[in-house]
């Protein structure tokens, strides 16, 4: 039996904003773990291990308490989605150790643009002029943030760009998963497979974390689980085109965290590039919202993963 949640745009906006607080917090913790702020820097593979392992524990606790009815998972789609998701998260965590959180966060907002471009050959989707315009605007902002001059180019920005591209591939698999399974099942399977992949990959670079680093990795995973839960609750109460702009608050919180903890002040190039990327992403979200019907059912919450794939 499917449970329907009544539309509540105001509450949906609150859930999305709380989710952005958590997701920005995960990038801050990843930066602390990847730099000397918490001791000997951890490898990005070890940080992504913490993200998946502790998120899996948190979500498994929820599953054990709620005891939802799971259907048979589509393991092939889940494995493809999780593999690219794990890779994208790892690249994102690698980038934030070297560039400002605002830059890395803004660049990864390109993931729906890459997903749109990849959907043409992989899903046979047709792209109209509005969506092409949105992609062009967002990519222009990315070029500004990459600072492509010999004096200002930041090679680590390419890690964030690669993360956005890989997350775009992840969205292709999420689109295939949407509507097939319940949101909680998708999150649980995603974090289960992510933990298996992360455990296998981290063996070669493992170093014993300090007690503080263990605590930070636990916080990282739990915050990611909370962010995903908030986003699903938000997307269940309002159409995706309505909640998408609120998700861009991640950039605001990431900037504030970077300023408060690492005293990093965004420069004019960062502000200009971020604004242009967000303009393109907002236009794309608006256009996508016009092209698909509203979804206000809990079982349709798989769309939440499409808009919040990290």
**In the predicted model, what is the mean pLDDT of residues 93-112?**
93
Q: Where are the alpha helices (DSSP H) in the chain?
A: 9-34, 44-66, 75-96, 101-108, 111-123, 129-146, 157-177, 183-202, 211-235, 240-247, 249-262, 268-291, 302-307
Between the CA of residue 72 and those of 61, 163, 170, 258, what are the distances in Å? 20, 30, 21, 42
Distance CA 206, CA 170 (A): 26
78 backbone dihedrals φ, ψ, rounded to 5°: -60, -40
With beta carbons less than 8 A apart as the criterion, state whether 197 and 27 touch: no
Lowest-pLDDT choice from 31-40, 55-64, 274-283: 274-283
pLDDT at 235: 82
Share of the chain above pLDDT 70, in %: 90
Lowest-pLDDT choice from 59-63, 78-82, 212-216, 235-239: 235-239
Between the CA of residue 89 and those of 64, 149, 243, what are the distances in Å? 26, 27, 23
pTM: 0.87
Written as six digits, the tokens of 146 are 């990459």
pLDDT at 294: 46
Lowest-pLDDT choice from 3-17, 103-117, 151-165, 197-211: 3-17
Confidence of residue 140 (pLDDT cuts 50, 70, 90): very high
pLDDT at 93: 96
pLDDT at 127: 84
pLDDT at 220: 97
With beta carbons less than 8 A apart as the criterion, state whether 50 and 129 touch: no
Q: Which residue has the higher pLDDT, 59 or 179?
A: 59
Distance CA 70, CA 155 (A): 44
Confidence of residue 310 (pLDDT cuts 50, 70, 90): low
Residue 1 has pLDDT above 50, yes or no: no
Q: What is the mean pLDDT of the chain?
A: 88
Distance CA 45, CA 87 (A): 9
With beta carbons less than 8 A apart as the criterion, state whether 142 and 107 touch: yes
User: Could you report the per-residue pLDDT of 231-288, keeping only the tens digit for each?
Assistant: 888 888 887 767 777 888 999 999 999 999 999 999 999 999 999 999 988 888 777 7
**In the predicted model, what is the mean pLDDT of residues 144-155?**
80
Q: In residues, how long is the chain?
A: 310
């Amino acid at each position: 039996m499917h449970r329907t949640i009544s539309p509540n745009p105001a509450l949906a906006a609150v859930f999305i904003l709380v989710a952005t607080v958590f997701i920005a917090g995960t990038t801050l913790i990843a930066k602390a773990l990847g730099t000397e702020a918490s001791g000997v820097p951890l490898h990005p593979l070890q940080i992504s291990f913490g993200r998946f392992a502790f998120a899996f524990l948190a979500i498994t606790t929820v599953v054990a308490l709620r005891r939802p009815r799971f259907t048979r998972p589509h393991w092939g789609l889940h494995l493809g989605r999780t593999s690219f998701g794990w890779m994208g998260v790892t690249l994102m965590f690698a980038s934030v150790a070297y560039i400002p959180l605002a830059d890395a966060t803004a660049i990864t907002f390109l993931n729906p643009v890459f997903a749109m471009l990849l959907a043409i050959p992989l899903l046979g989707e047709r792209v109209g002029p509005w969506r092409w315009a949105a992609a062009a605007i967002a990519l222009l902002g990315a070029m500004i943030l990459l600072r492509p001059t010999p004096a200002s180019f930041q090679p680590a920005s390419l890690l964030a760009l690669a993360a956005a591209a890989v997350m775009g591939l992840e969205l292709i698999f999420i689109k295939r998963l949407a509507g097939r399974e319940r949101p909680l099942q998708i999150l649980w399977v995603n974090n289960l497979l992510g933990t298996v992949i992360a455990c296998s990959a981290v063996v070669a670079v493992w170093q014993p974390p300090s007690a503080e680093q263990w605590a930070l990795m636990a916080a990282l995973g739990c915050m990611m689980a909370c962010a995903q839960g908030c986003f699903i609750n938000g997307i269940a109460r309002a159409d995706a085109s309505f909640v998408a702009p609120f998700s861009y608050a991640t950039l605001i919180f990431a900037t504030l965290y970077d300023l408060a903890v690492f005293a990093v002040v965004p420069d004019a190039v960062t502000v200009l590039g971020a604004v242009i990327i967000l303009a393109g992403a907002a236009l794309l979200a608006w256009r996508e919202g016009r092209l698909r019907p509203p979804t206000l059912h809990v079982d349709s919450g798989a769309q939440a993963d499409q808009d919040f794939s990290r």
